[in-house]
Amino acid sequence: MTRSTEGLIVATASALAAFGVTLVNFARGDGVDVQTGLTFLVFLIAFGGLYLAIRTWGHKATPLLLAPVAALTSIGFFEVYRLSTVRGGLQRWWLLIAAALAVGALALLSRHGTSVLRRYRNLILLVSVALLLLPNLPMDWGFPMRGLQLNGSRLWVLIDVGFTEMQFQPAELAKLGLVTYVASYLADHQRALREAHRRVGPFTFSEPRQLIPLLVVWSGSVLILVWQRDLGASLLLFAGFVLLLYAATGASGYLVAGGLLAVVAGITSYLAFDHVQRRVIAWLSPFEHYQDEGFQIAQGLFALGSGSLSGAGPGLGRPDLIPNASTDFMFAAVGEELGFAGSVAVLALFALVIAVGLGISFRSRDTFRKLLAAGLTLVFAVQVFLIVGGVLRLVPLTGITLPFMSYGGSALVGNMLLLALLVRISHEEAS
């Protein structure tokens, strides 16, 4: 695939978003209105801008990243719009902001390359931890940035920008920073980690002294998220660390130890927290608890089943019956309205992004870039698996977003930056 084909696909994806919005309008009994044109324009500006930025500052990067991301974003967008016109309008603003930030990131990285991230990893760590702690700002003080608690979780920051209030979930950005830090640390200590090791039974582990800073960062950030009751993000970070550690050392003992730790932590939190127990009940027997715990998952499955092979059509299903359809249950909403065909397409697009990301890592010569690409892609993959698997009852539901598709500004910003980083790494490795 060439750069021009990429451009064509990105333009097509913009048209797809506008077409989806138009179909939703028709389903509502309205005709073509300003929403169609506005959507096309915003997508063209956002993805066209990204495309031009890649041409300018990352022209050697693989053309296979932006195209599937544009397609996923456009499908997700008209489904968000279908569920709520207001959220659709907000999501368009967020798309512009996220694309602008990703363009900015590409521009910044064009001078010094990704190695600058390696150099300033301690600063990045500091900023990331600060971001993680932001939601714990007082909820009622006068400062225009306040903590916010929603649905029993303390994950949000409310920013009062005078004319309106914005909600932001800083963990979405902290996630990137922490992965960058860990990749950088592992790249620096790779040799030591691999060579000085201790045996525990059949498994080998690195010298604890080498691991201590990493373990502190890791357990610290996971504990902050557990404390904030962000089940999804804590699981995501936990898995990301373990997988990256394994990627860097090749010691399968980390996977085993991580798995055991996850089981122990899971059982402990099941015993300790009501909200974890409710999630497990909903996961194991949603239909038996249809009236309460299982309602959301059961509705999600009804949506998928009703969507069947070809789906109800945009705007013609009833995904609005699923609680939190536009965030946690975006996959079920798409499955209902676009059917099995749409679900498979979405999974295929995610698989493509993941495959390309891992491919970038695989072909990287520089250790940091290799680990950064692997880390970012793995966290992305785990996120897709956790939320889609949660909807499909493979794992208990953890409230995280479906990348590029769910409603939510912070998630979109975080994922666009992730895209920019992968593009940049791909470009540098091809240079």
Please report, as ranges, the residues that interact with another protein according to CB under 8 A: 27-30, 190, 243, 246-250, 287, 290, 298, 301-309, 312-313, 316-318, 321, 335, 339-340, 343-344, 347, 350-351, 354-355, 358, 361-362, 367, 370-371, 374, 378, 381, 384-385, 388-389, 392-394
Please state, in angstroms and rounded to a whole number, the distance separating the CA atoms of residues 403 and 410: 11
User: C-beta of 185: minimal distance to another protein in Å?
Assistant: 15
Q: Count of alpha carbons within 13 Å of 334, Cβ hemisphere only?
A: 28
User: C-beta of 331: minimal distance to another protein in Å?
Assistant: 8
> Residue 120, Cβ neighbours under 10 Å: how many?
16
Closest CA to 208 of 164, 170, 257: 257
- Name which of 217 and 312 has its Cβ closer to another protein: 312
Chain centre distance of CA 379: 8
**51 contact partners, CB below 8 Å, separation of at least 6:** 6, 7, 10, 66
- Name which of 178 and 388 has its Cβ closer to another protein: 388
User: C-beta of 313: minimal distance to another protein in Å?
Assistant: 7
Segment (H or E) for 85: helix 85-112
- The first and second tokens of residue 21, run together, are 């919005």
Buried b (16+ CB within 10 A) or exposed e, 378-409: bbbbbbbbbbbbbbbbebbbbbbbbbbbbbbb
User: C-beta of 115: minimal distance to another protein in Å?
Assistant: 18
- Name which of 53 and 303 has its Cβ closer to another protein: 303
User: C-beta of 121: minimal distance to another protein in Å?
Assistant: 19
In eight-state DSSP terms, residue 166 is E
User: C-beta of 286: minimal distance to another protein in Å?
Assistant: 10
- Which amino acid is it at 42? V
User: C-beta of 413: minimal distance to another protein in Å?
Assistant: 24
- Name which of 235 and 388 has its Cβ closer to another protein: 388
- Name which of 144 and 250 has its Cβ closer to another protein: 250
- Name which of 104 and 305 has its Cβ closer to another protein: 305
- The first and second tokens of residue 293, run together, are 């715990």
Segment (H or E) for 96: helix 85-112
- Name which of 220 and 258 has its Cβ closer to another protein: 258
Please state, in angstroms and rounded to a whole number, the distance separating the CA atoms of residues 403 and 405: 5
